[in-house]
Structure 1
């Protein structure tokens, strides 16, 4: 369906692709992987024709419909979420617009003399609309929006009043409703809660078109894709299988290449030693010459390119008292919406509580109450003795000083820390080389999140309250964060939609339901085993 044929592409001084080739076949579900800045978004833009390759060609089969979802959703306002989604449904939305115009024309007395032609055209368009499933379109649009956690009120409300994250869901719903022959999805798992993520997984499993997508959620990737295309050092390499299988194949290929490299290096060293030893002797001149020629002809094996994964040793957190935070008979409402009535909760030292609950159950509200950024209407929230808290929330990113560079932001927080130590810290969170000199105001949402996380974990508090800490983090940074938090000896209370993060770090689950709090010991994996579902809103 889509062929990338010996494409080369350069952005400024950065070479993204060198004579790279790959194919997307009908029915394939492909994960596009590679380090940040490797050219994943550029590849999408070349496929949809927004950017040409410098050399080579991108061949798309004639008549193929392509739906592209990107993080840049543009302006949306003046229509309901349902209308916005239906408007993007390809041919059917064009036909719907003509049908609407014809209905208006038929009701216009000034066009009475055109009535016969209008009625005939209306019949044709109505037939086409029906054959495209137009009358079922609104029902399908609502189904997709409900799957992405929209309430009926949100579906009807002006899309302009929605936050950026919800607008992204509207943009994603447009592509899903369109059901094109090929879907290109750039980070569709960002901004989704756990229920929406699992619904999207199931939707894509039932989609019979071809799919090319990026995602920083390894569990999501694993369940959706059946092939991986890797961008690495300007080349495209295809691997059959899911993400886990790709990782195994890649590790095996690296080990083989390393072994081959080492064998060749040993052989070369032996030959060079012989040449050095006997080059001055006339009796060995022929042998020396023959070996020199042999070495000149050998194809040199390159060592595998190592991904720079920086591990950081975080300082140990000071010890707190045994009771870290206690909520007693907490009532909380927003206007007429009751969030809690008489909530009781105790978090103890070294517990890693993940908070689960459907949309609107009050997960973020619970974290805000604990962090003191919102007050209960009734009841008490009390921190225990010697508790030093660090709170990561999405709004924390707005508190960065826009004029400071990344390095200055870290330096002003930790004036006594050594430069080398702070540079290593920055590298851990994806700021390598000149990235540390970027001003905070030009950072993307993901970069800001990483900087806030770095500031919080360099000298860690003994109680971490984390609201969606993995949003925007790439897989390598996420793995580093999981490894760091696995060694962390303090207490954690967190909300995340990343199942790998939940399973790796939680040892207790607090589930918020309309009937009250349900608690499960043993973490997320045990919760799934005991309840038979991966999220509170889904029952298998």
Structure 2
């Protein structure tokens, strides 16, 4: 369906592709992987014709429809989420818009004199709408939006009033409703809660077209793709299998290449020693010449390209008392909406609670109550002795001084730390080289999140409260964070939609349900076993 024939591409001074080749065949589901900045988005843009390769060609079969979801959703305003999603479905959306306008006109007393014309036109447009299967389309649009956690009210409301994350979901819903022959999805798992993520997983598994996607969520990628295409140093390499298979295969290939390289180096060293030893002796001249020629002909084995593995040894957290936080008879409402009515909950030292619940169940509210970012209407929140609390919330990114650079921000927070230590810390969270000189006002949401996380974990508190800490983090940074937190001696209370993060770090689950709270020992893995579901609100498997 789509072929990449020896494409080369340069962006400024950066060489992105050198004679790279690959293909996406009918029905294939491929995960596109590679370090940040390796050219994943550039590849998508070339497939959709938004950019051209400098050399080679991208061949798309005639008549193949492509749907492309990117992080840049553009402006949306002026009509409902349903209308916006249906607009992606082509001609039927134009007819739907006219139908809505005519319905409004029919209900307008000022249009009484034109009513016969309006009603006649309404009949014609309605017939055309039915012919295009418009009513079924609207039903499907609502189904997709519901799968992505939209309420009926949000579907009907002005799309312009939604936050950036919800607009992303609308843009994604447009592509899903369109059901093109080929879907290109650039980070579709960003901004989704666990329920939406699992719904999308099911949708993509049942999708019969070809799929090429990137994702920082390894569990999501593992369950959907059957092939991995890796961008590395300008070339494309394909691996048959899921992400886990790719990781194992890549590690094995590197090991074999390293062994080959070392064997060849040992042989070369031996030959060079012989040549050096006997080159001045006439009696060995023929042998020396023969070996020199042999060395000239040998094809040199390159050592495997070393991926930079980010790791950082965080300082040990000071010990807290056994009782970390206690909530007694908590009542909390926002206007007429009651979130908690008599909530009792306590956290003890070294417990790692994952908080779960459907949208609006009060997950973030619980974290705010614990950290003092919100006050209960009634009841008491008591923090235990010697507790040093660290709170990661999405709004923390707004508190960074925009005029200070990344490095200055770290220096302001840790004036006693050496430059090398702070550069190592920045490197762990994806800021290498000149990146540390970027001013905070130009940072993306993901970069800000990484900087806030770095500041919090450099001098770790003994009680970490984390609200969606892995949003925007790439796989390498996420792995580093999981490894660091696995060795962390303190207590944790967190909300996350990343199942790898949940399974690796929780040893308790608090599920918020309309009937009260449920507590599970043994963490997320046991929660799944006990309930038969991966997230609240989903039907058991």
TM class, shorter-length: over 0.9
Does the Cα contact within 8 Å between 1:2 and 1:25 map onto a contact in 2? yes
Name the CA distance, whole Å, in 1 between partners of 2:103 and 2:468.
Answer: 48
Name the CA distance, whole Å, in 2 between partners of 1:102 and 1:331.
Answer: 48
Q: Aligned Cα RMSD in Å?
A: 2.3
Name the CA distance, whole Å, in 2 between partners of 1:119 and 1:428.
Answer: 61
1:73-92 pair list within 5 angstroms: 73-92=73-92
Aligned equivalent of 1:157: 157
Does the Cα contact within 8 Å between 1:99 and 1:126 map onto a contact in 2? no
Unaligned runs of 5+ in 1: none
Secondary structure of the 1:145 match is helix
Does the Cα contact within 8 Å between 1:67 and 1:180 map onto a contact in 2? yes
Q: Against the structure 1 CA distance between its residues 78 and 104, is the aligned structure 2 distance closer, same or farther, given a 3 Å change threshold? A: closer
Q: 1:233: how far off?
A: 0.4
Q: Against the structure 1 CA distance between its residues 289 and 99, is the aligned structure 2 distance closer, same or farther, given a 3 Å change threshold? A: farther
Aligned equivalent of 1:434: 434
Secondary structure of the 1:4 match is strand
Q: Against the structure 1 CA distance between its residues 323 and 296, is the aligned structure 2 distance closer, same or farther, given a 3 Å change threshold? A: same
Q: 1:105: how far off?
A: 12
Does the Cα contact within 8 Å between 2:310 and 2:476 map onto a contact in 1? no
1:214 partnered with 2:214: yes
Does the Cα contact within 8 Å between 2:8 and 2:17 map onto a contact in 1? yes
Unaligned runs of 5+ in 2: none
Cα shift readout 1:357-391 (whole Å, capped 9, x = no counterpart): 00000000000111111111111111000000000
Does the Cα contact within 8 Å between 1:31 and 1:213 map onto a contact in 2? yes
Aligned equivalent of 1:261: 261
Name the CA distance, whole Å, in 1 between partners of 2:358 and 2:153.
Answer: 17
Q: Against the structure 1 CA distance between its residues 326 and 70, is the aligned structure 2 distance closer, same or farther, given a 3 Å change threshold? A: same
Query: More displaced, 445-454 or 80-89?
Result: 80-89
Cα shift readout 1:371-414 (whole Å, capped 9, x = no counterpart): 11111111111100000000000010011111111111111100
Aligned equivalent of 1:178: 178
Name the CA distance, whole Å, in 2 between partners of 1:199 and 1:345.
Answer: 30
1:104-503 pair list within 5 angstroms: 122=124, 126=127, 129-130=129-130, 132-503=132-503
Q: 1:310: how far off?
A: 2.1
Q: 1:92: how far off?
A: 3.4
Secondary structure of the 1:457 match is helix
Aligned equivalent of 2:48: 48
Does the Cα contact within 8 Å between 1:64 and 1:182 map onto a contact in 2? yes
- After TM superposition, the runs of 4+ consecutive aligned structure 1 residues lying more than 6 A away are 98-113
Q: 1:268: how far off?
A: 0.7
Does the Cα contact within 8 Å between 2:278 and 2:284 map onto a contact in 1? yes
Name the CA distance, whole Å, in 2 between partners of 1:133 and 1:464.
Answer: 52
Aligned residues: 536
Name the CA distance, whole Å, in 2 between partners of 1:89 and 1:409.
Answer: 46
Does the Cα contact within 8 Å between 1:331 and 1:339 map onto a contact in 2? yes
Does the Cα contact within 8 Å between 2:83 and 2:93 map onto a contact in 1? no
Q: 1:16: how far off?
A: 0.5
What is the TM-score of this pair, normalised by structure 2?
0.95
Name the CA distance, whole Å, in 2 between partners of 1:60 and 1:402.
Answer: 44
Q: Against the structure 1 CA distance between its residues 119 and 194, is the aligned structure 2 distance closer, same or farther, given a 3 Å change threshold? A: closer
Name the CA distance, whole Å, in 1 between partners of 2:97 and 2:164.
Answer: 27
Q: 1:96: how far off?
A: 4.2
Does the Cα contact within 8 Å between 1:314 and 1:458 map onto a contact in 2? yes
Name the CA distance, whole Å, in 2 between partners of 1:152 and 1:99.
Answer: 20
Aligned equivalent of 1:57: 57
Q: Against the structure 1 CA distance between its residues 25 and 105, is the aligned structure 2 distance closer, same or farther, given a 3 Å change threshold? A: farther
Q: Against the structure 1 CA distance between its residues 103 and 494, is the aligned structure 2 distance closer, same or farther, given a 3 Å change threshold? A: closer
Name the CA distance, whole Å, in 2 between partners of 1:309 and 1:400.
Answer: 27
Q: Against the structure 1 CA distance between its residues 267 and 399, is the aligned structure 2 distance closer, same or farther, given a 3 Å change threshold? A: same
Q: 1:83: how far off?
A: 1.0
Name the CA distance, whole Å, in 2 between partners of 1:105 and 1:417.
Answer: 69
